[in-house]
């Protein structure tokens, strides 16, 4: 076993050395391995839904908020979440435009109540909603979101996602929209934000490990202007790469919403008297080796995220455990039922999450 581990480590060193010494262009990347950061295909400007993905300048930050106190955690409805049952997307739905942001197929649609929804298809839909329920429960901000098992969208016309669309029919689709008065005004960075080093910020880092959210690019973080309350909401807005492995793999079915991989994954990896480190996010070393080193640029970027899960004060991690510990078994089950996971997976997910909560409480 030691010899095998040493050989893998040596191979990794050689691959990274080869990358640093070479001048390979991105055009020569290993095409049979899934890229870590996918570029969206071009589309006509009038067919693309635009997202404000520029970092919010520090000078424009005003009344920022990352977390708010929940006094009723044990009574929250995690099946319907923040929006509640009354705000469920109402059919019939009408297609508006496709969004080319990110790697999963997405589009905007309008429902019978004239509400506009961002609809996401594919492997991220289920875990995204389950993740949002748990984040919301402990005080972090999320959008109103739901998974619809089936829906018909009139006029549906997509460039991407044809393998998960049947005419105008979609299945296991995540419908999300911002609360009244909220508008996206930019993104925020993990290393540069108004909350760095606070208990609430460290708690968010812990939650990313609880969920196994390995996709921690800065542009997956959003800032919403909340005109109703004169504040700016900082949130992790793309949380679909969760409840599976600790890092990206060569299969989306393994690294997003895979309960067996979630059960096998590492949670707490290191403890000191004052700090705790977690297994997520982890650098995708296996994928690098599989690619022969040609994804080294993306590997180095991804490796730069691992600090988010490391060296967190034990007291801050224990605090998050105390909040999660107020959830009942049924509430945790409901979070995964909200994602429309099969019943047998709901049971297993709840067991793993409850085990993780106990580990946090005992820190």
Kindly tell me if the per-residue pLDDT of 48 is higher than 50. no
The whole-number average pLDDT for the span 93-110 is: 94
Give me the pLDDT at residue 297, please.
74
Domain layout of the chain by residue ranges: 53-361
207-253 pLDDT, tens digit each: 999 999 999 999 999 999 999 999 999 999 999 999 999 988 877 77
Model confidence at 190, pLDDT cuts 50, 70, 90, reads very high
Integer-rounded Cα radius of gyration of the chain: 20
Averaged pLDDT score across all residues of the chain: 87
| Whole-angstrom distance, CA of residue 251 vs CA of residue 284 | 12
Give me the pLDDT at residue 15, please.
46
Neighbouring-strand partners of residue 176: 118, 145
The whole-number average pLDDT for the span 345-361 is: 98
| Whole-angstrom distance, CA of residue 164 vs CA of residue 168 | 11
Give me the pLDDT at residue 53, please.
87
Give me the pLDDT at residue 288, please.
67
Give me the pLDDT at residue 18, please.
45
Percentage of the chain beyond pLDDT 70 is 85
Model confidence at 37, pLDDT cuts 50, 70, 90, reads very low
120-168 pLDDT, tens digit each: 999 999 999 999 999 999 999 999 999 999 999 999 999 999 999 999 9
Q: pTM to 2 decimals? A: 0.87
Model confidence at 305, pLDDT cuts 50, 70, 90, reads very high
Q: Using an 8 Å Cβ cutoff, are 258 and 192 in contact?
A: no
250-294 pLDDT, tens digit each: 777 788 999 999 999 999 999 999 999 999 999 877 766 777 767
End-to-end alpha carbon distance in the chain: 31
Preceding peptide of 86 cis, ω within 30°: no
Closest of 352, 357, 356 to residue 321, by C-alpha: 357
Model confidence at 112, pLDDT cuts 50, 70, 90, reads very high
Kindly tell me if the per-residue pLDDT of 11 is higher than 70. no
Kindly tell me if the per-residue pLDDT of 56 is higher than 60. yes
Helix axes 329-338, 343-361, angle to 10 degrees: 130
| Whole-angstrom distance, CA of residue 143 vs CA of residue 325 | 23
The whole-number average pLDDT for the span 82-110 is: 95
Closest of 240, 272, 254, 266 to residue 339, by C-alpha: 240
Kindly tell me if the per-residue pLDDT of 295 is higher than 80. no
Residue 10's Cβ-count burial label (10 Å; 0-12, 13-18, 19+) is: exposed
| Whole-angstrom distance, CA of residue 232 vs CA of residue 79 | 27
Give me the pLDDT at residue 284, please.
76
Give me the pLDDT at residue 330, please.
98
């Amino acid at each position: 076993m030691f010899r095998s581990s040493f050989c893998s480590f040596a191979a990794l060193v050689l691959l990274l050395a080869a990358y640093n010494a070479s001048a390979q262009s991105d055009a020569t990347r290993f095409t049979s391995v899934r890229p870590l950061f996918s570029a969206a295909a071009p589309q006509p400007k009038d067919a693309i839904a635009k997202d404000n993905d520029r970092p919010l300048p520090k000078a424009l930050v005003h009344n920022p908020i990352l977390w708010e106190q929940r006094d009723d955690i044990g009574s929250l409805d995690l099946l319907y979440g923040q929006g509640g049952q009354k705000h469920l997307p109402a059919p019939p739905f009408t297609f508006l435009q496709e969004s080319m942001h990110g790697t999963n197929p997405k589009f905007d649609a309008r429902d019978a109540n004239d509400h506009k929804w961002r609809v996401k298809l594919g492997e991220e839909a289920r875990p995204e909603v389950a993740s949002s329920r748990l984040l919301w429960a402990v005080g972090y901000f999320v959008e109103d979101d739901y998974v619809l098992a089936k829906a018909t969208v009139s006029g549906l016309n997509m460039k991407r996602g044809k393998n998960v669309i049947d005419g105008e029919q979609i299945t296991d689709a995540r419908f999300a929209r911002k609360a009244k008065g909220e508008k996206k005004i930019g993104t925020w960075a993990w290393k540069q934000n108004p909350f760095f080093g606070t208990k609430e910020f460290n708690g968010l880092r812990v939650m990313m490990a609880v969920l196994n959210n390995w996709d921690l690019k800065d542009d997956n973080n959003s800032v919403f202007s909340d005109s109703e309350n004169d504040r700016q909401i900082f949130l992790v807005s793309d949380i679909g790469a969760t409840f599976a492995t600790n890092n990206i793999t060569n299969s989306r079915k393994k690294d997003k919403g895979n309960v067996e991989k979630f059960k096998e994954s590492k949670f707490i990896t290191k403890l000191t008297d004052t700090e705790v480190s977690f297994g997520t996010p982890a650098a995708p070393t296996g994928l690098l080796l599989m690619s022969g080193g040609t994804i080294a640029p993306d590997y180095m970027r991804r490796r730069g995220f691992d600090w988010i899960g490391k060296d967190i004060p034990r007291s801050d991690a224990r605090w998050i455990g105390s909040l999660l510990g107020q959830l009942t078994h049924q509430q945790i089950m409901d979070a995964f039922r909200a994602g429309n996971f099969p019943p047998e997976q709901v049971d297993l997910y709840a067991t793993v999450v409850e085990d993780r909560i106990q580990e946090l409480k005992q820190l």
